[in-house]
């Protein structure tokens, strides 16, 4: 059962997200605008994983679904991105169960309701 929708701006080839819980926007329609992504996630009760601040700004004014995980690393090498996410991903997912927005930084995770 799908739980997460990965925004097109995040890596498509990432073993951590290569299972039945995740669907990448490229598998649906890579040209979708934010509104269409949001509506799809809402209709399917998915959490949006993104680097796009538009989603995190929008969730502040409404209630889930969808929930949002906002990865706020800036520009880093893909190898480092994979390493950091792999090390903290379980905690990110647990935090997302209790908060409508999870901001993921290189050095910390913040949950916001």
pLDDT tens track for 62-99: 998 999 999 999 888 989 999 999 999 999 999 999 99
Query: Cis ω on the peptide bond leading into residue 28 (within 30° of 0)?
Result: no
Spatial separation of the C-alpha atoms in residues 105 and 51, rounded to whole Å: 11
- Note the pTM of the prediction, 2 decimals: 0.94
The pLDDT tens digits for 5-24 are 999 999 888 989 999 999 99
Total number of domains constituting the chain: 1
- End-to-end alpha-carbon separation of the chain, Å? 25
Residue 57: CA atoms inside 13 Å, Cβ hemisphere, count? 6
Q: 97 lies in which domain range?
A: 4-112
Residue 3 pLDDT grade (very low, low, confident, very high; cuts 50, 70, 90) = very high
Instruction: Classify residue 78 as exposed, middle or buried by CB count within 10 Å of its CB (0-12, 13-18, 19+).
Output: exposed
63 DSSP assignment: P
């Amino acid at each position: 059962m799908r739980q997460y929708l990965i925004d097109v701006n995040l890596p498509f080839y990432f073993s951590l997200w290569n299972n039945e819980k995740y669907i990448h926007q490229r598998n649906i329609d890579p040209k979708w605008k934010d509104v269409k992504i949001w509506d799809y996630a809402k209709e399917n009760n998915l959490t949006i994983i993104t680097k796009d601040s538009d989603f995190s700004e929008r969730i502040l004014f409404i209630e889930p679904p969808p929930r949002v995980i906002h990865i706020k690393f800036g520009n880093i090498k893909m190898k480092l991105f994979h390493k950091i996410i792999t090390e903290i991903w379980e905690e990110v997912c647990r935090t997302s169960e209790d908060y409508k927005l999870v901001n993921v930084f290189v050095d910390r995770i913040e949950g916001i309701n």
